[in-house]
Chains A and B, each alone.
Chain A
């Protein structure tokens, strides 16, 4: 066990965990930030996506020891009032079915739109391809990313 000081959603958080504990489980079990979801644990589904220094990463596959002073943003910290353009678009398009994958989808989309503010459908599909939605909400995910790109 070791003490780590993490920069999460603009705050410094201290945890005492094993160095190999994935960021995902630090967020969920130790910091109570359960919006970030566990889906596969092997970087294959995208449910656990968070931002690290603005980049979308799979939190299930980053050990806490590797996070260092990086700025981590989770779904809870994406916006103060739930009004990030991507969140608004997700609500307007009614993307969620079961909703379990959606935090990961939203985080992937938000990071992607920063690098490509006006994407084509194909670019969206490529960017979102790492995020599985078992309910098959893909059409609305794409529509919502498009809509968000008009709001930013």
Chain B
């Protein structure tokens, strides 16, 4: 495998400042624009096109500057692993440093969309391979032997004669070598780190309670603040009576801005206490919505003749008119809060002509530009330090909690850390949108699927369909459309946006169709895929063979169709460029269905970090299962009815089924992993519940559905 680096983009080399070899590069650029340069750290910091570096010091220490926000997806470990692999480094000598987000060099420092590894895989390999090549050349010069007689081994360049030099010993000489334009990447059979067990680099700090998170950040002299936001969506602040609050111990100030009342003080508890004494009156500004209103709106929008057409193939109307049998079902999901374990928080210090921001954001670029707009200070004068993030799930792609901290600091003219209570976090934020789907299938007399219609109706959901996903391409006459209600309730991406629920509805519905035709659910899907392959109806945007691959793998590993003691449910989904098939197993316990085991077959291309991959896949399954079972945020007159964990149920250890994950080993470039296992999970679970009880669960949370309402027999 060959890879080239553009000569045009090389930066001038400088003498290294006691640093050995420093290779700067742009972590975020696309393959074609990769910038690689050997230079000093001082130069690197001045450079506008580089945002990451690999440095090899004379004492053998290897430092990798890693700019991506870490939310638990293991990127702070997995990215450097990729570099170290091609470098042939001794992993125990590698130090990973979280880069700040402190100047205009950083353009795409986002955690979201399961996109980081797919985006950067090849580039990171090239960075490691380039450094390795330079070290080899340095050694060959020193020994006066041809390059071809030199090889590398865990931090050393070795000559065929057996003599060797450590990377540290070579680092200064290597920094004088011209950055090679072409480097050879390793054959995957020679991988020592990629695909192997590498521990999380932050383990030690986590298990000893080191201050890693935004919540833990402290700056001498900073103030703390909690903010009272409107208690309901659609409400506006009318009046504030803060007299009692201002005289309470530890309270420094009460500040009103926009719809917010900030209580500012010296310690968190004093703020939380003072807040109870705050008297705020709101007025209705936009119409206050309740969950019952949403149910009515869903029905109205379903009944409307027209909607936005997302995809149409053949003549669906005729297919349904001529059908021997039509199957029709509706599925619905509620709003969900993201509920990261670490509530929102951010530190901001807005000064005369610069701003300092510190905290947990998945999207620092957007946060910084929003703050810049707000305070009128150029982005180059705004530093942003990213702390480790106690969970994101999409919530921290939003900027609201960064911007309000900056706004408050600019009003106070002081450094301040805004802390959200759990109640603030659950009731004052952004949610997974509520959606209802209607599916219709037309069958001919031979039970062939000849027509398929889907209408998605969402509340602030945008397009709640994925019109080019399976089974599109496999059904001749197809119509996919959507419509939406705009609500004052704010929504945001939530782990595996849209597909987190769409996949459940679709995979359950396909199960209904399979049952109606008397076909085995696995055979039924394989039949459709075969159709998409041999006689595609319109464009097919998923890889049919990869989907078939995971279906077969899941069926095989779960012993599909061979078990008497449990009821199995099947589901398969394509998202974030990866393919995941799930088999769930349920049985009746005290008349209620209980899910005991979930099998996953995953095709995400090359598995860079098996440790992290397993974690993401199993975590996604637990997440998908838990939220489908229990998750619900309902509204009464604009106010969320659940505000903390005593009312909002998150899955706990006793409710977690066994999970067995299998990965397809195909060596293809890595695709997304943070999300793809979540969407198909609840479909398989619902189908297993149906098998076990004979009743379909079509609404989430399942807990509120008929099979779980049955009285226990004991």
Residues in chain A within 8 A of chain B (CB atoms): 1, 17-18, 20-22, 25, 28-30, 32-42, 44-45, 47, 74-76, 78, 82, 87, 90-91, 94, 96-103, 106, 124-126, 128-142
Contacts and interface: CB of A to CB of B under 8 A. Distances in A.
A45 B645 contact: yes
Contacts of A129: 652-654
Contact of A44 (B208, B391, B620, B644): B644
Contact of B207 (A29, A87, A132): A87
3 shortest interchain CB distances as A-B pairs: A35-B209, A136-B622, A100-B390
Given A1-B249, A139-B659, A99 B72 contact: yes
A74 B209 contact: yes
B269 A29 contact: yes
Interface string B324-361: 00000000000000011111000000000000000000
Interface string B194-221: 0000011011101111111101101000
B12 interface: no
Contacts of B645: 39-40, 42, 44-45, 132
Given A98-B71, A98-B341, A136 B654 contact: no
B188 interface: no
Given A42-B644, A100-B391, A106-B207, A134 B340 contact: yes
A82 B204 contact: yes
Contacts of A124: 653
B340 A98 contact: yes
Contacts of A37: 213, 215, 341-342, 390
A75 B206 CA distance: 10
Given A82-B207, A140-B615, A125 B341 contact: no
B619 interface: yes
A138 B72 CA distance: 14
Contacts of A126: 654
Interface string B474-509: 000000000000000000000000000000000000
A1 B392 CA distance: 37
A39 B341 contact: yes
A34 B72 contact: no
Nearest to B248: A18
B619 A135 contact: yes
B478 to A, nearest CB: 35
Nearest to B212: A99
B623 A136 contact: yes
Contact of B644 (A17, A40, A76): A40
B619 A136 contact: yes
Nearest to A101: B341
Given A38-B268, A98-B390, 6 more contacts: A34-B218, A96-B200, A100-B340, A101-B341, A135-B623, A136-B656
A47 B341 CA distance: 8
Contact of B422 (A33, A39, A140): A39
A125 B215 contact: no
Contact of A21 (B216, B269, B652): B269
Most buried by A among B74, B202, B339, B650: B650
14 contacts: A21-B269, A28-B268, A29-B267, A29-B269, A39-B341, A40-B422, A91-B203, A94-B200, A94-B615, A96-B206, A97-B74, A99-B202, A135-B391, A136-B656
A42 B648 CA distance: 13
B267 A102 contact: no
Interface residues of B, number: 61
A137 B341 CA distance: 12
A132 to B, nearest CB: 5
Given A1-B249, A134-B340, A142-B653, A87 B208 contact: yes
Nearest to A145: B653
Contacts of A25: 267-269
Contacts of A130: 652
Most buried by B among A38, A136, A140: A136
A18 B269 contact: yes
Nearest to B340: A134
A138 B656 contact: yes
Contacts of B619: 97, 135-137
Given A94-B203, A98-B341, A128-B653, A32 B269 contact: no
Contacts of B654: 125-126, 129
A76 B215 CA distance: 16
Given A106-B207, A136-B619, A139-B659, A125 B653 contact: yes
B72 A98 contact: yes
B389 A91 contact: no
Contact of A100 (B342, B422, B646): B342
Contacts of A17: 267, 269
Interface string B371-399: 00000000000000000111111000000
A98 B342 contact: yes
Given A91-B199, A101-B341, A136-B623, A76 B206 contact: no
Given A25-B268, A29-B268, A132-B645, A100 B209 contact: no
A132 B341 contact: yes
Contacts of A136: 618-623, 626, 651, 656
Contacts of B343: 38-39
Most buried by A among B213, B268, B620: B268
Nearest to B74: A97
B166 interface: no
Contacts of A140: 615
B421 interface: yes
A89 to B, nearest CB: 9
A94 B650 contact: no
B211 A34 contact: yes
A20 to B, nearest CB: 8
Interface string B403-434: 00000000000000000011000000000000
Given A44-B645, A76-B208, A90 B203 contact: yes
Contacts of A138: 622, 651-653, 656
A99 B390 contact: yes
Contacts of A20: 273
A90 B644 contact: no
A77 B518 CA distance: 62
Contacts of A78: 208
A138 B652 CA distance: 8
A29 B210 CA distance: 15
B540 interface: no
A96 B202 CA distance: 9
A126 B341 CA distance: 21
Interface in B581-635: 611, 615, 618-623, 626
B270 interface: yes
B628 to A, nearest CB: 13
Interface in B152-200: 199-200
Contacts of B393: 134
Nearest to A122: B654
Contacts of B391: 98, 100, 134-135
A125 B656 CA distance: 9
A130 to B, nearest CB: 8
A134 B207 contact: no
B383 to A, nearest CB: 22
Nearest to A43: B646
Most buried by B among A96, A103, A128: A96
A75 B342 CA distance: 17
A22 B342 contact: no
